[in-house]
Amino acid sequence: MRTNFKTALLAAALLMSSGSALAEGNFWMWLVNFSRQKEVQPVDNKAYKDECGSCHFAYQPGLLPGKSWAKLLDEKALADHFGEDASLDKDTLKEIYDYTMANAAEKSYFKRSRKIALATEDGEAPLRITEVRYIKRTHHDIPEKMVKGNKDVKSQAYCNACHTKAEEGIFDEDTVDIPNFPKRD
């Protein structure tokens, strides 16, 4: 019986020292929340999906930290959103801002969002998901011809071009299908 108790204490200590658990403010909520096993929380806000998804893939808020969303959703930044005017009325902007901040990477229990939160906690806030160190690292071995040289992909910014379940918040390798290239092993 004594050995089981020591083993349980050791397991708890290891869990509490893991990056995901430490990054979460409430370890016990993290521990009992089974959503942490999933990838990224899917978009579930109509205003966000309608406004942001009308021009590009509606990136899940958990793909960037709050400091990035705050910069992106600034009124001046929206007036020149990567070369486009994406201005919003004040009520819609507030709803979308509140939604992204509440679901940003560092606020999420989802596994991939936790990794993004840890990768972005120091330094300047990335304005593009493709600038996140973790995202760069997971895509580093994909040849440029499969992305930029691919008429059906064009850029890593088009997550849903290759990640067949991106809209559901699933980005694991099993769901990748790069158009115009055979499936990689």
Residue spans of the domains in the chain: they are 2-32, 46-175
pLDDT(122) > 50: yes
pLDDT(5) > 80: no
3-state class (DSSP) for residue 25: coil
Residue 39: per-residue pLDDT? 86
Residue 61: per-residue pLDDT? 98
The larger pLDDT score, comparing residue 83 to residue 4, is at: 83
Residue 48: per-residue pLDDT? 97
Residue-wise pLDDT tens digits, 12-53: 655 555 554 444 455 565 555 554 556 899 999 999 999 999
Name the phi and psi angles at 129, rounded to 5: -60, -35
Residues contacting residue 99 through CB under 8 Å, at least 6 positions apart: 45, 47, 48, 61
Residue 127: per-residue pLDDT? 95
Residue-wise pLDDT tens digits, 141-177: 999 899 998 999 999 999 999 999 999 999 988 899 9
pLDDT(11) > 80: no
Smallest Cα–Cα separation from 41: which of 117, 136, 139, 133?
A: 117
The larger pLDDT score, comparing residue 25 to residue 109, is at: 109
Residue 27: per-residue pLDDT? 57
Q: How far apart are CA 95 and CA 100, in angstroms?
A: 9
pLDDT(4) > 80: no
> Which single residue is written with the structure tokens 């099993």?
174
Q: What are residue 167's DSSP bridge partners?
A: none
pLDDT(93) > 60: yes
Residue 24: per-residue pLDDT? 44
